[in-house]
Structure 1
């Protein structure tokens, strides 16, 4: 039996799909009702909300996406609407890029601000010679991009299942990177689209010729990877010399809150790839090239002290890091011929 919450959601979605004026009154009512709704009620309504996100015009679907993001942050199942958010974002991003590029060609200046301007007939008149019948759709996508970006950041942060279900992720990440020039939050979307889950890495210590296999997931940048490697290997039995990060530091790079004062920590190694190129902490694990299908990280002594504040780039995203096994030098004899000496980029 449907609840009052589900019925209100159904009314809201129906209004979005037919562009009924009642949408403007129903949206705040839905937001208010969600504050006291149970997780079960939100889960039951989420598939219907996903229909609206997928099918409504972007100016209305974007607000449904924001609504879904809020429900997900409050514990609702992220998958049904989350997939709709990310899939729709791809289309909205493409249309927004067409809008921005057409505006620059037509006027020679920057497009109107997504959050401090609004759709207008003047905008339509400016772009119609460039975009023709697609002008209004592109304009609506342009102004809806911030809502879809906000929701996508939540969805991609909290749901490995949504991340795993993405198709043509590289193309989506490329488009998000281009759109970041128009809306800064798309840089975070791009980063989340490049997150690896269930990815095996081979970690090699050049000095001892030993190695380890690790499996990672939900890691937002190489600061995080570097710290978790240190937590697993530095000063541990069967690991390498050194002092590991404190347990509370390791925890905040996995799934815990950052300790008060946001401590500053340092890198114990230079991370290098199989081609001898430095793996910069500012990069992401997806940047690390593979050899024979496996991404390789080589540990070298640090050439200088690197320090950075503790914490995850994406605070809502839980990371996983598993030390699967250790390899003796004789186990790795076939690997070292494929590993180049480190190159100094300075």
Structure 2
């Protein structure tokens, strides 16, 4: 069966909750095996309509298909925004389920999203608190892992989608609240906060020099730390020190990592403009801005840090580009806004 026809049949069945959905899904999966990325990209807009309109229990399977296609080379743009918006809706419904359960279950833990299944007993527990929304909330609860898995794949591989998300703070907040029930949502909300095309001002306190850099696809500050070292150490106009090896730099950019990755080390201590440490466990979006620009200050290392090489999000390639160097006399207006390190 041609892929486009298989998608059309499956989406129609999902939206109207037709029982043929269970038979059509394997047919689509089989058609996907031989489909080219171009064919999958062409079929994604219709799949996105199904993700947006189908009830959570069926739409979750459509989301899984979209994630698999994107990982296999399909253009994520046609489905990306629909998937992000639907994940927020499904997550909000799952949160309502969790709250209703906690109020009614007398301390009994909620059902496991991935191991348990909807049942009359589960429905009966939350129905008094949710009324007519109980069925949707219950289905959202059990479908949330599927949506989240697809969302994590898509956000890693689609910088244009990441950049186009609206109401970002609200979506991050909803995902963060639900992470107590599904740990993978912590990864999802972090991906929503990834900065793309973001310019940072990097200042070296010792030499009073600075650099403007542009970053994209960086999943945590371990990655930022290593990529700054690769960009600034041992380069013309850069800084002295031990530059990370090419292998380690590549592992934080776009290269696959070995089963036993080498150890990376931290050449500096990074602080923000207020003198607070920039923790490696955080993300670049945590770095506060001064006059609209996020500022990173390089200080000597407080102690030796080592950590395994590799990206937190293996499917997400990163970029860090040095746009220009600033001499001490260029930065006179900046230093009065830069506090000493607090530690």
TM-score by length of 2: 0.98
Deviation digits for residues 156-190 of structure 1, max 9, x if unmatched?
00001110110111111111111111011111101
* Residues 295 and 16 of structure 1: CA distance in aligned 2, closer, same or farther (over 3 Å): same
* Residues 259 and 238 of structure 1: CA distance in aligned 2, closer, same or farther (over 3 Å): farther
Q: Report the equivalent of 2:67.
A: 69
**2:148 is the counterpart of 1:149:** yes
1:219 CA drift (Å)? 0.2
1:41 CA drift (Å)? 1.4
Q: Report the equivalent of 1:95.
A: 93
Q: Report the equivalent of 1:44.
A: 42
Unaligned stretches of 5+ in structure 2? Answer: none
Deviation digits for residues 227-275 of structure 1, max 9, x if unmatched?
0000011121111110211112111111111256300011000000000
Unaligned stretches of 5+ in structure 1? Answer: none
Distance in structure 2 (CA, Å) of the matches to 1:232 and 1:274 = 21
Stretches of 4+ aligned residues off by more than 6 angstroms: none
**In 2, are the aligned partners of 1:15 and 1:21 still within 8 Å (CA)?**
yes
**In 1, are the aligned partners of 2:60 and 2:146 still within 8 Å (CA)?**
yes
**In 1, are the aligned partners of 2:2 and 2:31 still within 8 Å (CA)?**
no
**In 2, are the aligned partners of 1:219 and 1:319 still within 8 Å (CA)?**
yes
**In 1, are the aligned partners of 2:197 and 2:214 still within 8 Å (CA)?**
yes
Deviation digits for residues 277-308 of structure 1, max 9, x if unmatched?
00000000000000000000000000100000
**In 2, are the aligned partners of 1:249 and 1:259 still within 8 Å (CA)?**
no
Q: Report the equivalent of 1:303.
A: 302
Secondary structure at the residue paired with 2:302? Answer: coil
1:196 CA drift (Å)? 0.4
Superposition CA RMSD, Å: 1.0
Distance in structure 1 (CA, Å) of the matches to 2:109 and 2:60 = 23
Deviation digits for residues 132-155 of structure 1, max 9, x if unmatched?
111111001101100000000000
Q: Report the equivalent of 1:288.
A: 287
Q: Report the equivalent of 1:264.
A: 263
Greater mean alpha carbon deviation, residues 293-302 or residues 4-13: 4-13
Distance in structure 2 (CA, Å) of the matches to 1:277 and 1:5 = 53
Aligned with 1:23 (options 6, 21, 24): 21
Secondary structure at the residue paired with 2:253? Answer: coil
Distance in structure 2 (CA, Å) of the matches to 1:47 and 1:194 = 25
1:109 CA drift (Å)? 2.6
**In 2, are the aligned partners of 1:249 and 1:258 still within 8 Å (CA)?**
no
Distance in structure 2 (CA, Å) of the matches to 1:197 and 1:203 = 17
